[in-house]
Chain A
Amino acid sequence: MLDYAWLVLAFPAAGALLNTFLGGSLGRRAVGWLASGAVALAFLASLGLFAQLMGLPGHERSVTVHLWDWIRVGTFQVPAALLVDPLSVTMALVVTGVGTLIHVYSVGYMAEEPRYQRYFVYLNFFVLAMLVLVLSDNFLGMYVGWEGVGLASYLLIGFWFDRRDASYGYYADAGKKAFLVNRVGDFGMALAIMILWTGLGSVTFLEVFAGVEKLAAGTLTLASLLLLLAATGKSAQIPLYVWLPDAMAGPTPVSALIHAATMVTAGIYMIARTYPLWEAAPAASAVAAWVGGLTALLAATMALVQVDLKKILAYSTISQLGYMMLGVGVGAYAFAIFHLITHAFFKALLFLAAGNVMHGLHGELDIRRMGNLRARMPQTARLFTVGALALAGFPLTSGFFSKDSILFAAFERSPALYGLGLFTALLTAFYSFRAVFLAFWGRERDPDLFARAHESPAIMRGPLWILAGLALAGGGLNLPRVLPLLEHWLEPAVGALEIHAGLGLEMTLMAVGGLVALAGIYLAHARYVQEAAWAQGLAQGLAPLRPLLERGWYVEDLYRAAVVEPLWALARFSAQVVDRGIIDGTVNLVGQLHLLASDGLRRLQNGLIPTYALSLFVGVVVAVLYFVFG
């Protein structure tokens, strides 16, 4: 089976190709089911790989499946090969599993979309690129997948490229923004790969990890920081997170798959995959941890004031990715992957439920116009609430266990980061239930909209129930101390975390985390359902902060002034002065010179005899003078 690992890639590739060339004649339903089937088959293949690995003893669970010799230029040898180990198989399972559910959901969600063929081709292409990213055994292959998902993200964010609205601007611009911001990160990754190759002579993961000690500390830190830059781009951390809220312009299933469950986790995966580098460069790890922690807090504050349901979830994603970054920064790679998995479950659930809301309200996403939706779409309301519970970290949900494991690991290494994370957890619980209460509880604020609201079809609810089950039960993947399945499973790939704290501390912290989550939910309830006076007073007191939060701490304005405007000015200058003025001017000048010269020359041939006589005579005189004096 392991030799057939390439099948995992082949199925989505076949799906994309078949839908590209035959999709036009297949019909709407067939295209959707073909695409979903392709990803489902990839999921089965991943299960097969998982089973194979289980059959191997722990320390042998790292198999390189060589596909072909990709690059052979002198000393630069890069194979096209897959690394099948616990980490990559886990990621593949998440990508294909959640991906299948989202594909099925899309069949229902995009039922009215005229350009459905393009949509499913792009979606399959995305899955293919993501799988290349997680299964590659070398940096270059991963980079190919990295760029591929970036491309798919651009194509899918800007799927409705002819639309614009007040919330997202031109949808096409959102796609461009995502691509350009990611480019900055990709640049860092390319440099890091070059540094590693120059220092170690190889880009294959296993060979690089074996030779890490040979690199100087400075070089290693630089390479790691550049990789961190790439991760901040793809995983939407400070400073490159600004594309993710705008990416909500894409179809909701796309937001669920790409910008919640899978693509944005690529940065976290990448750091976990290259953990020997980070272990050997503690400075870079520390930077990563702080970047994660600060991003988590920053994004949570911005989520507090959003009125677009999807944007709340987008900022929430940035914040949760911050938790994961914090996890890998403190060396808790397995915990970060754990949170990655649970987040995939509940965030995809939340996004798809938001898609149901949007579908039922005919495109409306402003929570100020919602209210009491549980009366009109009871199942969706329940599903969304389950997701919100997991997001908030309600005790015993999957989110509870995964978030607490990260906070526990952070506590050991940096109490300050722990404090940040804990406060952010409070905010997380608050804003997630703000969304729940404002949208599904209370009075309906827009009676017309309410009257027309309806529940979604079964095809759009079925996958959500599966995800809800996973969101609630997913904690079972890694119950700390009791049943640390995931930790043990991932150990061959990401190493083990040294834990010095005792069980008591761990339990205490877990209890604190649970209490914080409950407190957040209670606060939201008091403010939005009970509308208690003290809660309103607290909100009034914090009101001066509102403009700051609504403008996103002016970060995007800063970027616009410091980066975008100068570049635009440079582009304008280049276009008008350099291109039109200098280059076109020079070319035109050549033409003008020709015209001038020919205009002068044409006077020699004006058909008038005296002119010809004169030119004859000039020639004669010249000849005579030449022969006499020359």
Chain B
Amino acid sequence: MVPTSYYLILSGVIFAIGAVGVLVRRNALIIFMCVEMMLNSVNLTLVALSRQWGNLDGQVFVFMVMAVAAAEVAVGLALLIANTRHQESINIDEIHLLKW
């Protein structure tokens, strides 16, 4: 059996990579993708631990997370497109209309 800690380590690394990606990239869509990656890494953790403790709670939680992630992607992308109506760029350095 693959020890649970291996999965956890992998999850942590993907999480860190995703976090750095959020901070480093300017394109809003790529930032989105990195966020999704971070969510996925957490899902991996939950599933691994679900096997560790021997019950389905973790997996059910992952199901919820996936549902929420889907909803969030839909709304977020709609937001992005709405923003594009009056500002063509999706560079997050330039999306700051809510500032005073």
Contact = CB atoms under 8 A, between A and B. Distances in A.
Contact of B95 (A609, A613, A614): A609
A617 B23 contact: yes
Interface in A600-630: 606-610, 613-614, 617, 620
Interface in B81-98: 92-93, 95-96, 98
A250 to B, nearest CB: 66
Interface in B64-100: 92-93, 95-96, 98-100
Interface SS of chain B: loop
Contacts of B42: none
A613 B31 CA distance: 11
A613 B23 CA distance: 7
Interface residues of A, number: 9
B92 A609 contact: yes
A607 B92 CA distance: 11
Contacts of B95: 609
A617 B15 CA distance: 12
A607 B99 contact: yes
A493 B19 CA distance: 103
Contacts of B100: 607
B83 to A, nearest CB: 12
A609 B19 contact: no
A609 B23 contact: no
A607 B26 CA distance: 15
A610 B92 contact: yes
A607 B96 contact: yes
Contact of A608 (B19, B22, B96): B96
Nearest to A608: B96
Q: Chain B CB within 10 Å — which of A606, A609, A620 has the most?
A: A609
A606 B99 CA distance: 7
Contact of B93 (A610, A617, A620): A610
Contacts of B96: 607-609
Contacts of B98: 607
A614 B23 contact: yes
Nearest to B97: A607
B22 A613 contact: yes
B35 to A, nearest CB: 10
B53 to A, nearest CB: 20
Interface of A: 606-610, 613-614, 617, 620
Given A609-B95, A610-B92, A617-B19, 9 more contacts: A606-B99, A607-B99, A607-B100, A608-B93, A608-B99, A610-B23, A613-B22, A614-B23, A620-B19
